[in-house]
Chain A
Amino acid sequence: SQAAWCVLPARVLLVLTSQRGVQMYDSDGSTMVFWHALDVPEHSAAHSVFARGIAAAGGHFVCVGTSSGAVLVFDIPPKGTNVTLNEVLEQHRDPITDIAAEQGQAPDGAGDLVTADDSGTLCLWSTGDEFTLLGQIPGSGSTCSSVTLWNGIVAAGYGNGQIRLWEAGSGRICAQVSAHARWIYALDLAPLTGKLLSGAEDSFVHVWKLSRNPDTDDIEIQHCHAECVTDTQVCGARFCDPAGDTFAVTGYDLSEILCY
């Protein structure tokens, strides 16, 4: 199960995903605005059915991934409960792991949404009344567990502990970091500074800085800080502010949220 705030210009929704489907609540959690049940195919008793991956995109959409690989695109009205399923994107063939919308300024042709799946495949989309697939980056054997998109740079965390940076427009690889010794669970980006936060099962949380080299125009990443949450497998990590000055961490069997 996942929970995410979807911040749209008109309103803020709390979106929850689970094995049964998607629920959306008003920002104070008091009213359930919308509920979508997942279709359970007849012969897939062995394959788990669930929704995973949530992102607000394109001004008035909320995108939710599913275990079939389909991405549900919901159109959100500025007020009220008239949420409709606008489109189903069927490009991925493996369960969706994460979805991210552009948090900064997308360069021309770069698209403003990225979706990731179990096989490590990334898809880049441009949002609108009809979403358009702009490109696809094939996986290379490791699950892409989390993804962020900023100024046309895709930052992806993988099950084998790697972080990779891709240029959204061209789909080319920009950087590869042997970041963690275990499965990366969380990535978050601070849009004002380009700081990247990664949390993994190896107990470590790292802060990185994304930048563009002024001479070569290459996208670069540097390591800023490491934090070890002793004896804890980090499951969640998020910046608490858009500049990335503070961040919060959660872990398995941990009943506290740690703030740094």
Chain B
Amino acid sequence: MSARTLPLLFLNLGGEMLYILDQRLRAQSIPGEKARKDEWTDVDRKRVMNDIITTMFNKKFMEELFKPQDLYSKKALRTVYDRLAHASIMRLNQASMDKLYDLMTMAFKYQVLLCPRPRDILLVTFNHLDAIKDFISDSPGILNQVDETFRRLIETYNCLSDGEFQLIRQTLLIFFQDMHIRVSLFLKDKVQNSNGHFVLPISGPVPWGTEVPGLIRIFNHKGVEVKRTEFTTAGNYVTPQREGSFELYGDRVLKLGTNMYSVTRTVETHMSGSSKTLASQAKENIAPNPLAKEELNFLARLLGGLDIQKPAGGDTGFRLNLFTTDEEEEHAAQTRPEELSYKVINIEATQEPGRRAELSRILGELEVAEPRPGSAEKGEDLLALMDGL
């Protein structure tokens, strides 16, 4: 297993999350003058994107991320994105957060699987970063942070050998093993089969540095080529035109990792058809992992310590729905198969009373599907619970 995998996992999943949030925010946004107090505007959208990106690329967080270490458990990683998604005025219900995470992970799994060369995972990461820079193109401060991380990536990874990249790739694939959530966008584009497995094309350009299969060359004892024969297969490959750029700026050539969501296409995920392998994987998730709490507390402390801008007027924030209607979201929450629930573990409150209130407020909102009269009591219950810790 490679100890250098976490930064790539985090940044690419983060990138996918931003693509999805951006698309949903655009789809649900109302022109500024017409918007009610609880509706999204363009200004709100930019604000959310800025906040999340700022949090993601926080210097201290990045330093910690780039330290050689094992991958976090699935639970711990999921909770990191939970915190990240709530780094701004936006709120997501459990069902929407689940869907968001499903989409993010399946998208990146697809990208890792289809990478022509192991090294191309870096190009995928650069594609995500290029797009992130585009999201915050008018905020030089955050742009700087992202560029810093970009440079760090180049410094850390450009010199690694193919073998080391293959090890990173294998580490990632093991992390994603047996995940077969069906995504409607992938199914429509025929990129995923109805059984959840991705389609692996046997045509198209070969990776840079690979020859199109088919040629056998025989050499004699003097090292001179004396015979050439060919063989054919079902594949239909061609030579690639050029190599993608590994510099700070450049044409990546590879399309994996670019934004595949457009405003008009809604993306659904399908939960049915759980298999034996999913159940066994879920069992592994459910078993208590003491390390997970450790990792989580550390990250939670880091994220909790970041300065997050709160909306004026002490609003509870805007809710984003990853589904088309509230009813759909509610239905999804109720019908999610048991083995696919992420079972997010409880975040232990830190000592500062301000922090505790903040955390419990977030936790409180995660519990509530609809604003109900009883919701205030629910929040108080949680507060009491946290007091007892």
Which chain A residues have a beta carbon within 8 Å of chain B's beta carbons? Answer: 19, 45-48, 50, 94-95, 97, 117-119, 141-143, 145, 159-162, 167, 170, 172-183, 202-204, 206, 216-223, 226, 228, 230-233, 252-253, 255
Contacts and interface: CB of A to CB of B under 8 A. Distances in A.
A175 to B, nearest CB: 5
B206 A161 contact: yes
Nearest to A119: B161
B200 A159 contact: no
A216 B226 contact: yes
Contacts of A231: 193, 197-200
Given A159-B163, A161-B213, A181-B213, A202 B221 contact: no
A161 B210 contact: yes
Contact of B235 (A50, A159, A181, A255): A181
B197 A182 contact: no
B189 to A, nearest CB: 15
A203 B217 contact: no
Given A48-B167, A183-B118, A253-B177, A178 B214 contact: yes
**For B198, B218, B220, which residue has the most chain A Cβ atoms within 10 angstroms?**
B218
Interface string B159-178: 00111101100000100011
B1 interface: yes
Interface in B195-243: 197-200, 202, 206-207, 209-221, 223, 226-227, 229, 231, 233-235, 237
B177 A223 contact: no
Q: Helix, strand, loop or mixed for chain A's interface?
A: loop
Interface of B: 1-4, 68, 113, 116-118, 161-164, 166-167, 173, 177-178, 180, 193, 197-200, 202, 206-207, 209-221, 223, 226-227, 229, 231, 233-235, 237, 276-277
B178 A203 contact: no
B218 A162 contact: no
15 contacts: A19-B1, A160-B209, A160-B210, A173-B219, A174-B219, A178-B212, A180-B210, A181-B210, A181-B237, A182-B116, A206-B233, A216-B220, A226-B233, A231-B199, A252-B173
B173 to A, nearest CB: 6
A189 B15 CA distance: 44
B37 to A, nearest CB: 47
A94 B215 contact: no
Given A94-B161, A226-B234, 18 more contacts: A46-B3, A48-B3, A97-B163, A141-B209, A143-B161, A160-B207, A170-B221, A175-B217, A177-B217, A180-B213, A181-B202, A182-B207, A223-B216, A226-B231, A226-B233, A228-B233, A228-B234, A231-B197
A223 B237 contact: no
B164 A118 contact: yes
B265 to A, nearest CB: 24
Nearest to A219: B218
Contacts of B161: 94, 118-119, 143
A106 B207 CA distance: 36
A172 B199 contact: no
Given A48-B3, A118-B164, A161-B213, A218 B226 contact: yes
Nearest to B196: A253
A219 B217 CA distance: 11
Given A181-B207, A233-B200, A176 B118 contact: no
Contact of A179 (B164, B213, B237): B213
Contacts of A50: 1
A40 B296 CA distance: 27
B215 A203 contact: no
Given A161-B213, A178-B214, A178-B215, A118 B162 contact: yes
A143 B170 CA distance: 15
Contacts of B217: 175-177
Contacts of B2: 48
Given A118-B164, A183-B166, A216-B220, A222 B210 contact: no
